[in-house]
Structure 1
Amino acid sequence: MGLTVTFLMLKMNGSLQMESALLYAFLDVSSDCKFKQQLPSLQSHVIMSRQMYCEDDFELQTDGNRSGHLQSNEGVYEPPVNEDVVRIIAAQLAEIGDQFDKEIQGQVVSDLARHFLNENLSREEIILHMSNTVKKLVQAIPSDMEQEKAMLVLAMVLTKKIVNTTPSLLQRVFSTAVNYINQQFHNHIAEMLGE
């Protein structure tokens, strides 16, 4: 299945579409991503967790334009992200991620993976652990880039590394990482993508 189809399936209601598209593209273009063949399985997860965009759900305005405002259970419809821009940004972040990847110790990944494996922890608790891990790593890894961008890349690299070690966690780690990235970096991503 081509990336274009994937992006069409990731175009969903709610404010997570940018984060989902960016993380998906990051994983798709990353080196040493051992689960690329499993990435298409994320499509059904994303589709089930968000009401899909439907052309008929828009209101037609008196000037003939569609309103672009669609209420769903998740909030207000956001226009689809630009696939080409997402791919370019994801490739740039993946290059940075390759540099960070070497600096992240296996024990850090194992500890975080254990939290994802713990069925008793809520998504919020796991996000807190992920956030703490990213904050510790950003201080431990020297970088001359802005802290917010470094933290975003670290979160995406951790996502890849956790799933590389425990592929069965793909759905849970992706979903949690998208929520964490949305909570922490939504405005930064919107700026990068020119939204």
Structure 2
Amino acid sequence: MDQDNRQTSLLLYNFLQCSSNDVFQTELKELGSELTRKVSQGGRLEDDYELQTDGNRCFFEMPRAEELDSESQEEIIRNIAIKLAQIGDEMENSIQPNVVNDVIHWLKSGNLPTEEKRRQLAATVDKVMQMQTISQDLGQEKAKLLLTMLLAKKVMTHAPSLFRSIFYITVDYINQNLLTYTRNLTRHDMD
């Protein structure tokens, strides 16, 4: 698993874990085990939405690989996720139920290719961003990251069977659209 996927997965995983919601905790624990296994085997986060799991670890752990300070980097990402979850809990009601239902509908449509699902998520995030009044303190990129993760959380809450699918699509979306911002978040917190 490459560095960017590892960091984004860890950020989203910990955000979900710190968010105030108990509905999908079983799925989250299973995903933590799955991600740990994929990382340790050098796997990649791809269109692998139907993986089997075999455990229930509470925190996604990055391997002790060649990255310098991977343990401190993991802790930094976890702390960022905690801060984002706190802000997200205050913003959670800003995502309309009809938007969540639309995402659930197109995710359940089994005939959509992965690229179309990514495009749909991007369009949905843009729609949610247009519906918001973003505080100057929050900033556009942070708001987009938060709203993306909140949208994923709401989909997971309303349709736990889509947990892995929306998790991986969200990680991919963040890596494609907010990678520089998430890298800067990590670097800024490291200084």
Secondary structure of 1:191's counterpart equals helix
RMSD between aligned residues? 2.3
Q: Structure 2, unaligned stretches of length 5 or more?
A: 44-64
Partner of 1:94: 85
Aligned partners of 2:22 and 2:125: how far apart in 1? 20
Return the letter of the residue paired with 1:147. Answer: Q
- Once the two structures are TM-superposed, the CA of residue 114 in structure 1 deviates from its matched residue by 1.0
- Distance of aligned partners of 1:137 and 1:32 in 2 relative to their CA distance in 1, 3 Å threshold: same
Partner of 1:120: 111
How far apart in 1 are the matches of 2:149 and 2:22?
12
Equivalent residues in 2 for 1:170-185 (5 A)?
170-185=163-178
Give 3-state SS (helix, strand or coil) of 1:39's partner.
helix
Counterpart CA distance in 2 for 1:46 and 1:113 is 23
Letter in 2 for 1:16: N
Pair 1:44–1:113, CA change in 2 (3 A): same
Equivalence for 1:84 = 75
Aligned to 2:183: 190
Count, aligned residues: 162
Change (3 A) 1:182 1:138: same
Q: TM-score, normalised by structure 1?
A: 0.75
Which of 157-166 and 95-104 deviates more?
95-104
Q: Which protein shows a greater Rg?
A: 1
Instruction: In structure 1, list runs of 5 or more residues that go unmatched.
Output: 1-11, 55-76
- Runs (4 or more) in structure 1 with deviation over 3 Å come to 43-51
Code of the residue aligned with 2:105 in structure 1: it is: R
Change (3 A) 1:97 1:78: farther
- The match for 2:25 is 36
Aligned amino acid, residue 143 of structure 1 = I
> Percent of aligned positions with the same letter in both sequences?
34
| Deviations 1:1-39, CA, capped at 9 Å, x for gaps | xxxxxxxxxxx4353111100000000000124212221
